Chain A
Amino acid sequence: MYGRKTTEDRIVDGVNYTLLGMIAFLTLYPFYYVLIASFNLGEDTAKGGLYLLPRAFTLSNYTFFFKDPKWIDAFGVTALRTVVGTALSVLFTSLVAYGLAKPDLVLRKLYFLLVVVAMNVSGGLIAYYVVLRGIGLLNTFGVYVIPTMLNLFFLMIAISFFRDIPSDLAESARIDGAGETFIFLKIVLPVSLPLLATMALFLGSGQWNSWLDSAYFVQDQSLRTLAYRMMEVVNQTMIGSDSQAAQFTSKLGVTQFSVQVTAMVISVFPIMCVYPFLQKHFVQGMMLGSVKG
């Protein structure tokens, strides 16, 4: 591009490629290590020296995971909240955005003020807890999917998206006597699929990864999420408590650590599956987000 390679070019390239190679390795290897550890016999992993390939290949960690009612419940609750929570927030957020996108909306200044203030000021998590308790959402499945129904960041993105949709379609439907709800569901949403897909991917991965609400707003053991259960195990591994390890080893050669890495693989797997799609959309979304501040 700029003529022949000079010595400086070679040195810069050499250093640069080496460093980038190290960065790629440091980013990816931890994921790889967790993956091979999940396919290795837990007792064997505990001996150390596992670096490149599973040494004592086994599926017992996965069999254990999918037989333990605690983990199955967590998996089910997390899958359900991801589906229901994502559907609710995509629909509700775009419905409100469709209303706000109407150009000559009466009181729109007031509405936008309320949205912007809510975006930037919060009463803190304790006050939030008191409100959740007051309206009876604590310790219910609803606490996972109802408070997340309106996402203010995507509300703003959806408003600008809807404003760019040509109004001819909706106008002609209106002349034919269609109601606004019908127009929203049958005309506006179908032409907004790229927007809906982006929202679903981001909100969905947020739901799937969520642990805080499960840790603080729920006591019912059957309502715990996958990320919460993982946090429990990680905490035990972190402080090196072996209280459960003994009971684990008696069956299948599974250890607390091998179950932990298996849970991690299972929890990362869906994200990896949608990652190529996430990638396609997020740059634009992030730009908007950072401009918003």
Chain B
Amino acid sequence: MSKPLTATVSTPEQTKPRASDPDGFFRQFRKQLPFQIFVLLGIGFLLVFSYTPLFGILMAFKDYRITMGIQGIFTSSWVGLAYFREMVQDYNFPTLVRNTIELSLLKLVFSFPVPVLLAVMLNEVRRSAVKRFVQTASYLPHFISWVVVSGIATALFSADSGLVNDLLMSLHLIKKPLEVLTDPDSFMSLAVVSAVWKETGWWTIIFLAAIAGIDPQLYEAAAMDGAGRLKRIWHITLPGMKSAIVVMLILAIGNILGGGLAGSNFEQAVLFGNPLNSDKSQILQSYAFNVGLAQGRFAFATAIDLVQSAIALVLMLSANSAAKRFSGSGLY
């Protein structure tokens, strides 16, 4: 990239700029008034529902009580880092941090490769009816809410009426029902498996699109040279998906605390969490919600929220710049 040697000053076409309105700003604005009104309605909406909550972050540093209303965010007295100190000293804190990280990492590690594999497998299917059927079935769960998924989980795994326990018991493979839904030790597996079940098919679409972009001549040439199916997958299909894989991985890491590509961590923690498995199922987000809304400690909860969004923001920004560097410099 080289800069142009001569700097040209572009003059906007305007007729007779007035002294009070040198750029013709107000005249232009008035000319587009209907459009401006449409947009300003939207901006007003954002100010109320996005930007006012942003100022709510101040609560984390203030002696705020809910009875003070919105203006209390600004008028309440400062307490500095008191809530952050309280949070770090909270006996739950190490567990919460560990659970949050464990859930995020496990979901990334297990749920990311599956759509890649499924896309490769679907690509190997020559009968388009079979391919379409499996693909359509696989992304169906994406459109079902997490509530229904948790309902399905109880239908399959609950200790007294679950299908899986019922089947295993009648085959005499187990003596007493598996407590999948209430045992803290099985919470992470439950979250990971349900995430894979729900979101795999959806992300397969992206990887299939990447495969569709591969030049079919490559396959023909490889077949001519005697490369078998597995060799063609390894040397053509997977390298052809490389940039899609990298980009999606960066996006997933950027949003890892939210749940990456594998559904919301918060919803999973709330819906699969219960008093019996809370040692493992409580994460920072769900704890902030409980403390804030159930116990009414709004300022403290905001502090927890803030720590978690700060980490998330740093992750997202670094993932974004990694994505830019990656797509900017190119692969080849």
A residues sitting closer than 8 Å to B (CB atoms) are 1-3, 6, 8-9, 12-13, 16-17, 19-20, 23-24, 26-28, 30-31, 33-34, 37, 45-46, 48-51, 92, 95-96, 98-100, 102, 104-107, 111, 114-115, 118, 120-131, 133-135, 147, 149-150, 155, 179-181, 184, 205, 209-212, 216, 227, 230-231, 233-235, 237-240, 257, 260-261, 263-264, 267-268, 271, 275, 278-279, 283, 286-287, 290, 293
Contacts and interface: CB of A to CB of B under 8 A. Distances in A.
A49 B313 CA distance: 49
A228 B25 CA distance: 50
Nearest to A229: B147
Interface in B183-240: 197, 201-202, 205-206, 209, 219-220, 223, 228-230
B42 A96 contact: yes
Q: Which 9 residue pairs across A and B have the least CB separation, nearest first?
A: A127-B56, A99-B38, A96-B42, A123-B53, A180-B34, A134-B70, A124-B305, A209-B145, A99-B39
A118 to B, nearest CB: 4
Interface string B128-171: 00100110111011011101101111111011110100110110
A254 to B, nearest CB: 13
A12 B276 CA distance: 45
28 contacts: A9-B228, A23-B118, A23-B138, A45-B161, A99-B34, A99-B36, A99-B42, A100-B42, A105-B36, A114-B43, A114-B46, A118-B46, A123-B57, A125-B288, A126-B288, A131-B48, A131-B52, A135-B70, A150-B49, A180-B35, A181-B34, A211-B147, A216-B293, A235-B274, A238-B182, A257-B155, A261-B151, A267-B145
At the interface, is chain B mostly helix, strand, loop or mixed? helix
Contact of B223 (A3, A114, A286): A3
A6 B298 CA distance: 67
Interface residues of B, number: 104
Contacts of B137: 23-24, 27-28
A150 B45 contact: yes
A54 B175 CA distance: 27
Contacts of B155: 30, 33-34, 37, 257, 260-261
B57 A124 contact: yes
A279 B136 contact: yes
Nearest to A37: B155
B121 A30 contact: no
Contacts, number: 286
Contacts of A31: 140, 152
B124 interface: yes
Interface of B: 25, 28-29, 32, 34-39, 41-43, 45-46, 48-57, 59, 66, 69-70, 73, 118, 121-122, 124-126, 130, 133-134, 136-138, 140-141, 143-145, 147-148, 150-156, 158-161, 163, 166-167, 169-170, 181-182, 197, 201-202, 205-206, 209, 219-220, 223, 228-230, 247-248, 251, 254, 267, 271-272, 274-276, 288-289, 292-293, 298, 301-302, 305-306, 309, 313, 316, 319-320, 323
